[in-house]
A and B are shown apart, each in its own frame.
Chain A
Amino acid sequence: MKTKPRLTDEQLIAIFRTMLMQRTLENRGFQLNRQGKIPFASASEGHEAVQAGAAMAFERGKDILVPYYRDLGLALGIGLTPYEVLLSLFARAADHSAGRQFPHHYASRRLGLHTISSIIAAQLPHAVGAAFALQYRGEAGRAVLTTFGDGATSEGEWHESVNFAAVHKLPIVFLCENNEWAISTPLARQMGQPDVYKRAEGYGLPGAAVDGMDPIACYEAVDEAMRRARSGGGPSLVEAKCYRFLSHTTDDDDRTYRSPDEVKARRKDDPVPCFERLLAEYGVLNAEQAEALKRSVLEETNDATDRAEAMVYPDAADLYEKVYAEGWEPWIV
C-alpha cells in the first residue's frame, strides 16, 4: 500500500467526487446524443486523475486556467457547476457563450477560466500573455495553469509559447495531458521520442513526467510547479501520461485505427475505480460512502440536466450581439 499523501481526507474525497462527476456528466452527454437531444458529445475518460489532481493544485480566486477542449474535470475541479456544463451541452442562451460555442468549450470570468476555441495550441500564447500580465503587475502569489494534448505539442504556437515563457521566467505551468493519441495519430507519428517533458531542458525550464492515472501524483507534480510559479521561480512543464479510453468524439470511431484489445488492456488502469480502491485502502471512503457519493453525483447530474434542458435557446437576433463594443456594425445604417 502506498503511503497516505499529505492531502486531507476531505481533499481526497473532493478529488474523487470531481472524477466521478466528470465521468457521469460525460456519460450524460453521450446519452443525450443518442437520444437525439444534442448533436455532439465528447469525453475525457482516462483523463480524470490528471484533471482532478491538477484542479486541486489550482488556487481558486487567484490562479488562471487556460484549458483545452478535453478538460471537463479541470473545469469542474476549479468550480464550474454541472448545470453550467449542461447549459453548454444543450447550447442554451444562459450558457457562458450564449450557445455559440461547441460543448466543453467553457469560459468563466468568475473562475478565471479562459474562453478557448477548438483550434489546437491556440490557447498557449494566451496563457503566456496572461502570465506576463501577472508578472508585469507584480501580482506575486498568482499563476497560470495551461493544458493541452500530446498532439498540440507539434504546433509552432506550442514551441513559441514555451520559449517565450522560459525567456521571461513567467509564472506559468504547462500541463500536457499525454493520452498517446491525437484522433488517429499515435505518439510515434507525432514526435520522434515519446516524452514531452524532455523538451523542457532544451527550452530552459524544469520538466517532469508523472503517472497521469494517479491523481495524487498529478496533484503533487502540478502543485510543486504552481508553487514555484507563484513565488517567482518561473515556468515548468509537467507531462501527465494518461490514456484516451473512448473515441475522439461522437463523430469518430476509434476501431478504424486502434485495436479494441489495446484499449481493453489499458482499462485496467482506469483511474476512477483504481482511486476508489485506494481510498478504501486508506480508510478514507468505505463502500457504503462511495455508493452514497455516486448517488449524490447522479442526482446532481439529473437535476442539472432537467434545469438546463428547460432553459431557452438563444434568439436568432443574438447572432448579431457582441460583435463589437458598440454592437453590430453600428456604422452601417
Chain B
Amino acid sequence: MAVVSSTNSTVMNNVEAVRATLYEAMKNDERTVILGEDVGARGNVFLITKDFIGEFGERRVIDTPIAEASIVGIAVGMAMEGLRPIAEIQFADFIYPSFNQIVGEAAKIRYRSNGEYTCPLVIRTPYGGGVRGALSHSVSIEALFYHVPGLKIVAPAFPDDVKGLLNAAIDDPDPVLFLEHKKTYRLIKGEVPDGHYTIPLGKANIRKAGTQLTVVSYGLYLHWALEAAERLAQEGLSVEVLDLRSIRPMDKTAILNSVEKTRKLLIVHEDNKFGGIGAEISAMVAEEALFSLDAPIRRLCGPDVPSMGYALPLEEEFMSSPAEMADAMRAMVKF
C-alpha cells in the first residue's frame, strides 16, 4: 500500500509506481489503451492493472489472445492511427514471437515513411532473474534490442524513475521498450513525487557520487552496486555509481564525465557479457576517453550460458551479489 509521507511525494514500490503511472495515463488521455495477456480481468499477473478494466472498460483494457506478434503488431497499427497503445508482454521471455513486429516494423515506421507515419508505442515487460524463474521466466533481453536504431529502451531501477521515465515513454513520439526488473517490483521502495512529471529518456543519474571508480549499472544490479559501494565507503574507498536508466539512447556524456573524473570504469549487468550493454559502453569509452583511464575497463556480467537454471545452485551461480561486486570494485580502486 502506498503511504503518503509528505504533501508532495508518496512512498511506493516499483509495481505501485508502474500502476500509478499507467492509471494516470489512462485517466488523462482517452487515446491510451492497454493490451496484453491477462491485463483485464486478472489485472496483470503482478496485479499492475488490477481493477482498470472496471474503470476504463474492455475497449481500453484489452485481454488479448496468447499471440505476442499480434499484441505488438496491432499496437503498431493503433499507434500509426492516433491511439497511444501501451502493449504488455507478460514476461520478457515471451517477447520473441513479436521480434519481427518490434525490430522489423515498429522501429522502422518513421524512417520508411520519411516521417509521414510514426509509431508512438510503449511495450512494457518484466525481465530479469533471481526469482527462481528458470529458463523461461528469468531472461534479460536488452542486448537483443539495443542494436536496433529507431527503438528506445528504458530500464529504471527506482520508483521515482519508473514514474518519470514511463511518463516520458508514453509521451515519446517513437517506440519505447520499457523494461521492469521483476525482482525489484516489490523489493525496491522509494519516494515518488506526486503529480505529472517526466524524466527525459537518455539521461543517466549519479545515484552515488565518488572519486576513485565509476560503476555503471541499471536494474536490479544497480541496487546491488549501490550496496557494494556503501561497503567500500566504510573502508574509505570512494566509488561513483551511475544509474544508466536509459539504454538507448545512452547517456555518453554522463559516462565520459564520470570516467574523466574517476579514471576507472567497471560495468555491471545481469545480462550476459558477450555483446552486452557493457560491450558498447567499453567501446565508447575506449574510443573517446582511453587516455583518461588508469586501469583496464572491467565488466562484471552474467555468464555466457543459455540461461540461469531452476535449481538454486544454478541460479545463484548465474546471479552476482553485492559481495562479488564489492570485490571487483575494491580490486579496481586498488589497481
Contacts of B134 in A (CB 8 A): 100-102, 118
Asked whether any CB of chain B lies closer than 8 Å to the CB of A184, the reply is: yes
User: Chain A's nearest CB lies how many Å from the CB of B44?
Assistant: 9
A-contact bits for B293-308, CB 8 A (1 contact / 0 none): 0000000000111111
Contacts of B144 in A (CB 8 A): none
Which of A91, A102, A183 makes the CB contact (< 8 A) with B136? A102
Which of B96, B306, B307, B317 makes the CB contact (< 8 A) with A316? B317
- Distance between Cα atoms of A164 and B150 in the complex (Å): 34
Contacts of A320 in B (CB 8 A): 303, 305
Are A257 and B135 in touch, CB under 8 angstroms? no
Which of A154, A156, A313 makes the CB contact (< 8 A) with B311? A313
Asked whether any CB of chain B lies closer than 8 Å to the CB of A99, the reply is: yes
Are A155 and B67 in touch, CB under 8 angstroms? yes
Contact segment of A53-61, A185-193, A277-285: A185-193
User: Chain A's nearest CB lies how many Å from the CB of B114?
Assistant: 30
Are A191 and B65 in touch, CB under 8 angstroms? yes
User: Chain A's nearest CB lies how many Å from the CB of B184?
Assistant: 17
Which of B40, B132, B314 makes the CB contact (< 8 A) with A40? B132
Are B63 and A184 in touch, CB under 8 angstroms? yes
- Distance between Cα atoms of A317 and B317 in the complex (Å): 8
Asked whether any CB of chain B lies closer than 8 Å to the CB of A251, the reply is: yes
Nearest to B41 among chain A residues (CB) is: A257
Are B304 and A329 in touch, CB under 8 angstroms? yes
- Distance between Cα atoms of A191 and B63 in the complex (Å): 12
Contacts of A317 in B (CB 8 A): 317
A100 with B312: in contact, given A152-B66, A155-B67, A189-B65 (CB under 8 Å)? Answer: no
- Distance between Cα atoms of A272 and B40 in the complex (Å): 33
Asked whether any CB of chain B lies closer than 8 Å to the CB of A119, the reply is: yes
A184 with B305: in contact, given A40-B132, A120-B94 (CB under 8 Å)? Answer: no
- Distance between Cα atoms of A117 and B93 in the complex (Å): 11
Are A100 and B135 in touch, CB under 8 angstroms? yes
Are A102 and B135 in touch, CB under 8 angstroms? yes
- Distance between Cα atoms of A200 and B50 in the complex (Å): 37
Are A189 and B132 in touch, CB under 8 angstroms? no
Asked whether any CB of chain A lies closer than 8 Å to the CB of B37, the reply is: yes
Contacts of B149 in A (CB 8 A): none
B residues neighboring A (CB under 8 Å): 37-38, 40-43, 45, 47, 50, 63-70, 93-94, 96-97, 132, 134-137, 303-314, 316-318
Known: A99-B310, A156-B67, A318-B309. 8 other contacts (CB 8 A): A99-B309, A100-B310, A119-B94, A156-B97, A183-B45, A189-B65, A313-B312, A323-B306
